[in-house]
Each structure stands twice: as structure tokens, then as C-alpha cells.
Structure 1
Amino acid sequence: MQAFFTASLLALAAGAAVAADAPVIGLITKTETNPFFVKMKEGAAEAAKAKGAKLLSGAGKADGDNAGQITAIENMIAAGAKTILITPSDSKAIVPAIKKARALGVMVIALDSPTDPAEATDALFATDNYRAGVLIGQYAKAALGGKPAKIVMLDLFPGHPVGAQRHNGFLKGFGLAAPDAKSNELGKAPEIVCMADSFGDQAKGQTAMENCLQKAPEVTVVYTINEPAAAGAFNALKKAGKEQGAIIVSVDGGCQGIKDVGAGKIAATSQQYPLKMAAMGVEAGVEYAKSGKKVAGYTDTGVTLIAAKAVGGVDSKDVAAGTSLCWGKK
């Protein structure tokens, strides 16, 4: 797992040496390739440079790689990190490693995804993922315009709290019975014709959509856990000649995702701000190093519905606005 731990020492300014006593802050993402986490790493790097901190970065081999994240935690502690920012791949299995880190005086902040229990970390900086789901559910319901709802749900993978929150929020927004934001159980409804796991991956999302089309050829709405999965779903629908008949909604609001909204591949997406999450985490880590003051509790980093076409009764911003804000870029 050592291959998935990379350390990057960030200077105060171009060409300047970092002071030996600079705060050491670690960032551990689920993967190194997902654009969401690439942007998160950029945000952390920018904040670390501005604050004069050393940033260590690590990631799992793939979404769900808990062992890789544990190795990254251990390596960061050995390297002197006093704050670790993490997007947990396995919200339960990572908890013992986090407890060990905190027992050594390391402040641990979850970004984007909570641990289970959430109290296992000092704080959480994240999107309100349930609300993100509600927004796209409301949009899909209005955009459907009274046509029969035949819904495909392309989820993350079983047991992940973010996956459950977005899934159940979508159902709630669509006007269907759904568990509340605290549940990790995926809600079901007669209108759902297929549920499949995409692992947030474009290729796996396409395969999942293809399998769903074999099971239920007539689809009017596709919920996707994120925009890579949405891109895969669109490819499968286009391959089957059904891309015009289904409304695809998603969560992320990345720059490529917003382009896909503009191109008509995704009808609407709930935009979140990973750059902001990471920057806030680094700032909290620097403050902890200086004063010993820890942050606590949940901080909502915001969510905005972006749609190419507005629908009545649902607040949204257009593609131009989404492009100007994609993932929190300046």
C-alpha cells in the first residue's frame, strides 16, 4: 500500500524553503484519480502553501480500499502530521485507525463523508448530501411532467453513508417514502425498476446501466451517485438509442459534469465544493498547530442545484453559474 502514499512538501512561495517547524497536515482521499478528489487535493495544496504548512497526501487504490487508507494514516503519523483530513472509504472499518491517531494527539477531520459513528472524528466538513439528493429528486419529479416514473438508481456501494444519504434524499425530493438522513439503509419504492452499484466509476456505471436496461428496458429517470456514473449511464442509454427518453440527475457539480449538463447528457446536478472543504481543513490544522484549538461538529460547505433548463417550483442556477463555481474554483 506504500505506493498509494505520496508526500508533497509545499513551499511558502515559489522557490522558497519551508520552515522546519511548519505544521504538518495530511490529506487522505478515497482515490487519486476521481476528479472530485483531485480538486480536493488542489484546494489543500493551495491552502497549505498560503499558510506555510507541509502537506502530505495519500489515497486508497480504489473506492473502498480501507487498508490503503490505514497505511496512509500510519505513514502520516510517522512523518509528524498533527492533523489528518480524510474522506473515509469504509466509514466503519477506518474508525480503529482514527482512534489510534487521535489517542496520539492527532486531530482528525472527515471531509465529504462522515465516519460511522460520526463522532469518531473531531469534525466533519461536508456537503449536506441528503439535501443534495432532495434537490435533484425535486428537479426530476418536476421535469418528468406527470409521465410515469420508471426510475433506475445507480448507487455507490452498500453501507456507505454518503451513498445512502443521496439515494434517500432523492426519493424524498421525488415525493416517495424514504428513510431519514441518519439511515444507511437504501429506500425502495415501486417506481424503482432497477437498483445497481456503480462505485462512482464511469465504466462500472455504464455496465450497471446496461444491466438495468436488460432488466427494465423502459426508463424515464436515472439517479446517479456522481457524475462519472452519470456519464456511464448516458453512454449506455445512447448505445441503446434511449438517451432522449430518460432524465439523468446526479451530484458533484464538477467542471466536466457541468459541461455534461450543458451538452444535455445530465439534466441537473447538485454542485458541491471540495476545494472549500479541503481549504477549511488545512486552515483548521494550522490553527490547531498554533493554538491547540480543535474544531468540532459538522460544517455544511454548501450545495447548489445546477440545471440547463429551469423547472417550475425548483430553485436552480444555470450552466454559466455552475461553470464559474465548479467545485469552488476562484
Structure 2
Amino acid sequence: MGHLRLPSRVPVIAVTGVALLVAGCTSTKSGGSDSSAASGGKVSIGLVTKTNSNPYFVKLRESAQTEADAKGAKLIALAGKFDGDNQGQVDAINNLVTQGVKGILITPSNSTGVLGAIKAARDKGILVIALDTATDPASAVDATFATDNEAAGVKQGKYVKAALGSKKPAVVLLDGTPGSTVDDLRHKGFLEGFGLKSGSAEIKGTAVTNGDQTKAQTAMENLYQRDHGINAVYTINEPAAAGAAQALSGKTGVVIGSIDGSCTGVGNVKSGKFAATVMQFPKKMAQDGVDAVVDYAKTNKKPSGFIDTGSQLITDKPVAGLDSKDTAWGLKNCWG
């Protein structure tokens, strides 16, 4: 889950409050799910991400585009203006329905806020798959291809706890965006992996960062100013971890963990800015999503349920009992 990310190289056209990235062909005409006729025989696939600026979603979109090209399909990619832009995503779904896509792949900013638009799309025979972030309820979409974010949080928590060794824990939690399912699951998983409960005395502070490096740096500076004994940091993603590392620059004995698996994040683990990260695989999410829509167009067969696309602990300081890969492996497979 990925959050703060890099600008795309693909041209951007503003449409109904969202960014429309047109790939391959011109826009298709309306016509429900008759995507083949609308796009000259190509299967049209819609992709709706949380933002266009977050490198995680840039990677996901680029991977979806590559797979669509390989399958002879047309990808129409749209996004909210910012992380949490629920109305922008609703507008994007409605836009894609009018363009006659066969399937929609979506990373919902709000797990409940897009349900009405998703239902309207499915009622027209459009396959809808959640990528990266589940809807609530999960049955609102046909299937979900995503990281098991609670399990990823558990991996971060177990590692940070183990890396402390015999030190008495003094933990801070740098959370993402309140109400986000991904954030809630990672937070819960970290506590479970570390062996903590909400309100545990070992937790010395929490802060909302929205996954933003600058906000995380400011929050970490403030938290450390209040308690110089902090020795463990949970972060929602790698930009937040980078912010925490900057705030703690020059200080020793603090274990920072994270989740994402970008090449930048793995590089920060390699350089020692933070101790470990848990890699996700957005490329696989995107490829599997595109393949599912193409298969649906050919066979009318729909995927169902939650499909875990996996996660991997990355560190150059392994601990006994935890499966991990080093940063050399991580740099070869980042967001693979």
C-alpha cells in the first residue's frame, strides 16, 4: 500500500475531477460492458488508483499497461487527485462505465465510499477487482488481489521486536490515513507481531502521517523531543520511514521498520537508514488483474475471493526464526 509517489511519464488529461491517462487508443464510446466493439476488437480495462503521484501506484499502473499491451488489451487509467479522494474515484468508475470497459481494477481510497459506484458497474456486467486495498465488505467486488496487509504488519512487528533484543521496548507508531483499511490492518498486524495491545505502556506515542515523508519527519521530531528513550518505530510505509530516519539522523539504537518494498526503500535498508522493510508485489497484482479481465472477456469466467499476492521481509540483519531476504535480493525484485 502502498502512499507518496513519483509523477508519471504518461500524459495527464483532467476529466471530471480525476486524472485520465489514455493508453493506446482514443476514448471508447459508451455502451455498458461491450468493450470489444467499443475499442476496435480490443478488450477495454479500467484502472482506478488512489493517486498518480505515489510511486507505488505509478508502478502498479505501468505494470498494468505493460500487461495490457502484451495481451492486446486497452488500458484506461484514472486516479483520485489525492489519497482519500473518494469522490474522484467514484467519478472515475462512472466515467469508465460510460466508456464501455469490460472490467475495472481499483485501489479504493475508502473501502466503503465507492460501493454504490461499484455496484452500478457490476450490475452492467462489468467485472470489478480490488487491487492492493479491499472493499468493506469484500463481497462488494468480484475478487481482491492484494497483499495480506495484516500479515505484512505482523512481519514488521516481529522483526522490530526481535531486533531490539533484550532492550525494554519504547515504541512509537507512525500511522497513515485514519479510516484506511490498509493502514488499520498494518497497524493491527504490527501490534500483534510485536506482542502489544492498543494502550500498552510500551507505546510512547502515535502520529498520523498520511504516509508523507515530511509529515512523518515532523511527527518523529516531536515524539522524540518528548521521549528520548524511544527505540522502536513502526511506519505505515517507506516514505514515512524515511521521514523518521531523517528526524533520528545521528541517533543510535532505534530500530525502524516499514512496509512497501520499493527500490528506494530497499536502498534505505541497505544504507542503514532503517532496519527492515516488508516488500509487496504490485506488479503481480496488476498483471493478475489484467489477465483476469482478459480471461473474463474470453470465457465469462470470474475470479472470486481474496488472492494474496505475497510479501517478503527484507533486511541485511536477519534474526533467527524469521524468514528474510537480503537487500541484494530486494534490489533485484523490488515491487516485482
Structure 2 length-normalised TM: 0.89
Say yes or no: does 1:36 pair with 2:31: no
Match of 2:46 in 1: 26
Give the distance between the partners of 2:87 and 2:214, measured in 1 at CA: 24
Runs of 4+ in 1 over 3 A off after TM superposition: none
Preserved CA contact (<8 Å) 1:151 1:220:
yes
Name the residue aligned to 1:282.
Answer: 290
Conserved 8 A contact 2:23-2:65: no
Paired residue type of 1:100: A
Deviation readout 1:125-149 (Å, 9 max, x if unpaired) = 0111111111111111111011111
Aligned residues: 310
Q: Who is 2:201 aligned against?
A: 190
Q: 2:261 aligns with which of 253, 267, 270?
A: 253
Contact 2:175/2:206 (8 A) holds in 1? yes
2:80 is the counterpart of 1:49: no
Q: Name the residue aligned to 2:146.
A: 126
1:155 aligns with 2:175: yes
Q: How does 1:1-330 map to 2 (within 5 A)?
A: 2=15, 4-10=18-24, 20-177=40-197, 187-238=198-249, 241-242=250-251, 244-328=252-336
Amino acid at match of 2:22: S
2:81, 2:88 within 8 Å by CA — same for their partners in 1? yes
Indicate if the aligned counterparts of 1:8 and 1:54 stay in contact, CA closer than 8 A: no
| Superposed displacement of residue 320, structure 1 | 0.5
- Report deviation, 1:175: 1.9
Q: Percent identity?
A: 53
Residue by residue over 1:11-55, the C-alpha shift from the partner in whole angstroms, topping out at 9 and shown as x without a partner, is 8xxxxxx96110110111111111111110111011100001110
CA distance in 2, matches of 1:188, 1:85: 37
Structure 2 unaligned residues grouped into runs of 5+? 1-13, 26-37
Find the counterpart in structure 1 of residue 7 from structure 2. none
Structure-2 separation of matches of 1:65 and 1:268: 30
Q: Distance in 2 between matches of 1:19 and 1:122?
A: 24
Counterpart Cα distance in 2 of 1:227 and 1:315: 20
Distance in structure 1 (CA, Å) of the matches to 2:219 and 2:73:
42
- Check the 8 A contact 2:47/2:77 in 1, yes or no: yes
**CA–CA distance in 1 between the matches of 2:120 and 2:242?**
39
What residue number does 2:31 align with? none
Instruction: Report what 2:3 is aligned to.
Output: none
The 3-state SS of whatever aligns with 2:334 is helix
> 1:310 touches 1:316 (CA, 8 Å); kept in 2?
yes
* Alignment TM-score, normalising by the size of structure 1: 0.90
Counterpart of 1:6 in structure 2: which amino acid?
A: L
RMSD: 1.6
SS at match of 2:248: helix
Alignment partners' CA distance in 1, 2:199 and 2:280:
25
